[in-house]
Amino acid sequence: MGDGSNLLVIIALLPFIGALVPGWMIRAGRNACATFTAVPTVLALVMLGILAPDVMRGEVIQARFEWLPQLGLSASFFLDGLGLLFAGMILGVGLLIILYARFYLSGDDPMGQFYTYLLLFQGAMLGIVLSDNILLLLVFWELTSLSSFLLIGYWKHLPEGRQGARMALAVTGSGGLAMIGGMLILGNIVGSYDLTDILASGDLIKSSEWYLPALILILLGAFTKSAQFPFHFWLPHAMAAPTPVSAYLHSATMVKAGVFLMARMWPALAGTEAWFYIVATVGLITMVLGAVIALFKDDLKALLAFSTVSHLGLLTMLLGFGTTAAAVAAVFHIINHLTFKAALFMTAGIVDHEAHTRDIKRLGGLAKLMPITATIGTIAALSMAGIPLFNGFLSKEMMLEEASHTYWFENPWIVPALATLGALFSVAYSLRFIFHTFGGPVRDDYPHKPHDPPFGMYAAPALLVVLVVAIGVMPFLADNLVAVAASAVAGEALHPHLKIWHGVTPALFMSFAAIGGGIVLLLIHRPLDRVWIAAPRPEAKAIFDKLLALLVGATRWITEVTHNRSITRYLAIFTVASVALGYAAWTGGGMSAPSREMLPVPPLVGLGFVLLIVGAASVVLFHRNRFRALVVLSIIGLMVSAGFVYLSAPDLALTQISVETVTIMLLLLALHFIPKETPRETRVGKKIADGVVALVAGTGVGALAYAFMRRDVDTISGFHLDNSYAGGGGNNVVNVILVDFRGYDTYGEIIVLGIAGLIIYALMQALLGGPAGRKLRNTDFTRDLSRDRHPLMMVVATRVMMPIAVMVGIYIFLRGHNYPGGGFVAGLVIAIALLMQYMASGFAWTQSRQRIQYHAMIGFGVVIAGLTGAGSWLAGKPFLTSAFGYFEFPPIEEFELATAALFDLGVFLTVLGAVMLMLFSLSRIARYAGQSVNLEPMDYDPADRVKPLEGGKE
């Protein structure tokens, strides 16, 4: 990669880096903030200027970095003529907008935020036009949707701003979704996601049977972004944004992204019938519709918005024609539209800023009050109307020329007629903009007395209208740029010559007709306007809102049906669906005949089964009495643990019994504060239905287990058994799986466990602070209770057990890698040892002797495990690769040290911290309910025995 590629990458990155600055610089004042926003834009523009001569010579500058090569995603950029044109527009207009916004935004608006959003948007937009990878392009595409959402909703206090932003995001975002599908299909057809490859394989794409779906999906993305019919409605609503945003996003750049995409994809997609009929037709409809609506809008910005819709339609139509001459016209019109429309938006902003209204019906006569603004606005609007000697005339003439010999379903006149009609309305609304705003007598009822703004505010539009006139009078100035950009669109070298006079052509007559008709329309505007207002017409926002409400209603209905906050419903759906899937798999064939013999049932195992079944049945019978159900549940836990031991899984048995104990304690803590009986809520019919579901599901799971156990199935157990020692350095396969083979899972799980612990704590904090806390304080727990709160025997026994239990915990932890045990069980064992102290001597007494915060313990655990995993990066291995070795410390025999043990330490700490924090949180409720706190370890002091009782006999 040469210097050019380096510059290209820097250009693409500059706005994003620059976006960090305005937020800080606003503290140094508004001028400093605007200056520092302009710096990255100016730098990028200068670099683009350095690259420009090469591109103008026809070179393509490329830069490429692999990002996710497995997905075909690379961070690759390229700069050709089209990219140069758009990048220049984005940066150039961006600079003018930064200047304009400095004066436009009032002191109350957070300017740093605005500039940050603006640069983010600029970066995203640059990314679109410079991307050489369509997946990367999609990323930037979505980024423009998001940053424009922020910009449109910049005035957060205005409901129109928020609603407009939401609508723009909904429409362009869903179009973007469709486009993702289209791009993936396209990449699939070509076998590469690189734009240069795709552009080179146009024939392959057009002959593919997936061409049409890809085309439609990509066009959906382009049409929504460029506000083409029937998605045009979001653009006028986005006008709630500050005017600099409207000028930048909604005339010059973002809405052109769709046009850009169609131009970019032109060699790959254009030239087919489908392309012509979809793109050209939609463009034509949009052009005429936009122009007609624009004439009847009273809001200056709404008028300009619909005019933009109309002009975007014009561009789309030109690209849809699929001829190279039309492509030249489109490229030229992109430049012209940019110059006059951005100037017009800024003029509208100035008028709004000075007169405090943009309602045409309240304006008029401004030419005398603000002559500079009026001049700028008039020149730009005349160009928009397509009056000769302004640049809008040139490209409109070329458009009409192209339209005049386009056949639509063999019909020679429909396209030219409609194009002329569009041009006619365009003249009408442009003239209305001029005469109804600036012309006429000076009024005395403006909301605010208007006068020309400071130089900084009109500098930007003034510069743009200079361009309008320059190109309009000397079109050859734009020759080279148009040539190189149009060549990039067409994929072949074009050398157009732009000139004012084409001779007496059909286009000239069409132009005259448009101008004449436009003047007539303006003259009869008043009666027409009355008819328009009286006529019924669909209100896009109402329809959109209704559609959105329908969609929300439908999704809410689905949610309510599947998950109506009742866990029974949720579980029933889940269970029935799983059983149905299982049944489908069963009947689908592919089940081999059983290959294993039935084993005899030893009497003790049979007994275990009886206990399990009776236990399960008793829970069903006793479930109303919650305490009794809990006792019966313990049988099941115990039997499952015994089963694990019997099936040679002592690790699991240990874990099971520890989890069982901790769970019982948690449930008992909670049970203290909730009713001891379950209320009767369920109807008999529902009970029967639920019972059937439960029985079917249980039978299904049983059948599945039976089916598997009767057959020889290849499992991954063999691999783990073979590789446990060689790969993880441990003989205990279960532990090696946990800390090494599946270490990533374990890491995720301990994080989840830690989060659960913290959430319980946080929930309890919120709960106790709310109404539930006040209710708790009024609970009356007067029951016939034992008065021995902290029995001597229990206190002594737990104290004696404490060191033994901790020792056992450490022992289990240390040997875990080779024998049953490990961090998880060790954490639970020590948690139980600590919990016993809490039970015996009370919460406050124990807590005051507890030095380490449980929150911190969770944090340390996760961090230690994470650092251990990351440590393997230092050795150049993937995350969580374990290393182990044998060491000898003199008094101790040879000893194995494995990094897995360190990871296990993290697991241990997290488990311990999370369990303790959960119990801590639950037992805090009692203190909240007004329970007193003891300072002594036990209620009964053995020392009292030898003292004489007070006032008693010896």
CB 927 within 8 A of CB 933: yes
Pick from 17, 473, 607, 766 the residue near other proteins by CB under 8 A: 607
Pick from 274, 573, 796, 805 the residue near other proteins by CB under 8 A: 805
Output 37 or 658, the one with its CB closest to other proteins.
Answer: 658
Cα dist. 776→318, 767, 839 in Å? 73, 10, 21
Q: Is 74 helix (H, G, I), strand (E, B) or coil?
A: strand
Determine if 277 is a binding residue for other proteins (CB under 8 A). no
Output 493 or 807, the one with its CB closest to other proteins.
Answer: 807
CB atoms < 10 A from the CB of 251, how many?
27
Choose the binding region for other proteins from 126-134, 156-164, 459-467, 669-677 (rule: CB under 8 A). 669-677
Determine if 638 is a binding residue for other proteins (CB under 8 A). yes
**Residue 767, amino acid:** L
Output 608 or 727, the one with its CB closest to other proteins.
Answer: 608
507-566 positions binding other proteins, by CB under 8 A: none
Pick from 653, 864, 880, 905 the residue near other proteins by CB under 8 A: 653
Q: Is 75 helix (H, G, I), strand (E, B) or coil?
A: strand
Determine if 240 is a binding residue for other proteins (CB under 8 A). no
DSSP class of 946: G
| Distance linking the first and last C-alpha atoms of the chain | 103
Determine if 629 is a binding residue for other proteins (CB under 8 A). no
Determine if 916 is a binding residue for other proteins (CB under 8 A). no
Output 526 or 783, the one with its CB closest to other proteins.
Answer: 783
CB atoms < 10 A from the CB of 143, how many?
18
Task: For the CB of residue 952, give the shortest distance to other proteins in the complex, in Å.
Answer: 28
Determine if 627 is a binding residue for other proteins (CB under 8 A). yes
CB 352 within 8 A of CB 243: yes
Determine if 829 is a binding residue for other proteins (CB under 8 A). yes
CB 151 within 8 A of CB 115: no
CA nearest 289: which of 540, 506, 546? 540
Task: For the CB of residue 677, give the shortest distance to other proteins in the complex, in Å.
Answer: 14
- Residue 199 CB-half CA count within 13 A: 21
Report the distance separating Cα 363 and Cα 357, nearest Å.
8
Cα dist. 150→136, 227, 241, 244, 258 in Å? 21, 18, 10, 14, 20
Choose the binding region for other proteins from 99-107, 411-419, 612-620, 681-689 (rule: CB under 8 A). 612-620
Pick from 35, 661, 818, 872 the residue near other proteins by CB under 8 A: 661
Determine if 634 is a binding residue for other proteins (CB under 8 A). yes
Determine if 724 is a binding residue for other proteins (CB under 8 A). no
Task: For the CB of residue 711, give the shortest distance to other proteins in the complex, in Å.
Answer: 27
CB 304 within 8 A of CB 344: yes
Q: Where are the alpha helices (DSSP H) in 357-478?
A: 366-369, 371-385, 391-404, 414-437, 455-473
State yes or no: cis peptide before 412, omega within 30 of 0: no
Output 80 or 660, the one with its CB closest to other proteins.
Answer: 660
Backbone angles phi, psi at 304, to 5 degrees: -65, -35
Tell the residue number behind the tokens 């998605």, with chain if given: 231
Pick from 756, 808, 810, 897 the residue near other proteins by CB under 8 A: 808
Determine if 362 is a binding residue for other proteins (CB under 8 A). no
Determine if 611 is a binding residue for other proteins (CB under 8 A). yes
Determine if 923 is a binding residue for other proteins (CB under 8 A). yes
Determine if 818 is a binding residue for other proteins (CB under 8 A). no
Task: For the CB of residue 903, give the shortest distance to other proteins in the complex, in Å.
Answer: 23
CB atoms < 10 A from the CB of 476, how many?
10
Output 271 or 650, the one with its CB closest to other proteins.
Answer: 650
Output 739 or 828, the one with its CB closest to other proteins.
Answer: 828
Task: For the CB of residue 655, give the shortest distance to other proteins in the complex, in Å.
Answer: 10
Binding residues for other proteins, rule CB under 8 A, total 62
CA nearest 322: which of 281, 291, 293, 353? 281
Output 666 or 696, the one with its CB closest to other proteins.
Answer: 666
777-796 positions binding other proteins, by CB under 8 A: 781, 783, 785-786, 788-790, 794
Report the distance separating Cα 253 and Cα 86, nearest Å.
8
Element (H, E) at 923: helix 899-928
- Residue 434 CB-half CA count within 13 A: 19
Task: For the CB of residue 721, give the shortest distance to other proteins in the complex, in Å.
Answer: 17
Output 184 or 808, the one with its CB closest to other proteins.
Answer: 808
Pick from 181, 271, 517, 650 the residue near other proteins by CB under 8 A: 650
Element (H, E) at 64: strand 61-68
Helices then strands (H, E): number in the chain? Answer: 41, 4
Backbone angles phi, psi at 854, to 5 degrees: -70, -30
CB 62 within 8 A of CB 77: yes
Output 68 or 793, the one with its CB closest to other proteins.
Answer: 793
Choose the binding region for other proteins from 200-208, 510-518, 651-659, 683-691 (rule: CB under 8 A). 651-659
Output 379 or 639, the one with its CB closest to other proteins.
Answer: 639
Determine if 832 is a binding residue for other proteins (CB under 8 A). yes
Task: For the CB of residue 829, give the shortest distance to other proteins in the complex, in Å.
Answer: 7
The residue ranges of DSSP E strands in 501-542, in sequence order, are none
CA 320 to chain centre: 33
Determine if 715 is a binding residue for other proteins (CB under 8 A). no
CB 919 within 8 A of CB 838: yes
Determine if 733 is a binding residue for other proteins (CB under 8 A). no
Report the distance separating Cα 239 and Cα 164, nearest Å.
8
Determine if 919 is a binding residue for other proteins (CB under 8 A). yes
Q: Is residue 856 classed exposed, middle or buried when 0-12, 13-18 and 19+ CB atoms within 10 A define those classes?
A: exposed
Output 571 or 631, the one with its CB closest to other proteins.
Answer: 631
Report the distance separating Cα 390 and Cα 635, nearest Å.
91
Pick from 132, 354, 402, 660 the residue near other proteins by CB under 8 A: 660
Q: Which two tokens stand for residue 651?
A: 């690790």
Pick from 139, 619, 635, 772 the residue near other proteins by CB under 8 A: 635
In the complex, the residues that contact other proteins under the rule CB under 8 A are 603-604, 607, 610-611, 614-615, 618, 627-628, 630-632, 634-635, 638-639, 641-642, 645-646, 650, 653-654, 657-658, 660-661, 664-665, 668-669, 671-672, 781, 783, 785-786, 788-790, 794, 801, 804-805, 808, 812, 819-820, 829, 832, 835-836, 838-839, 842-843, 919, 923, 926, 931, 934
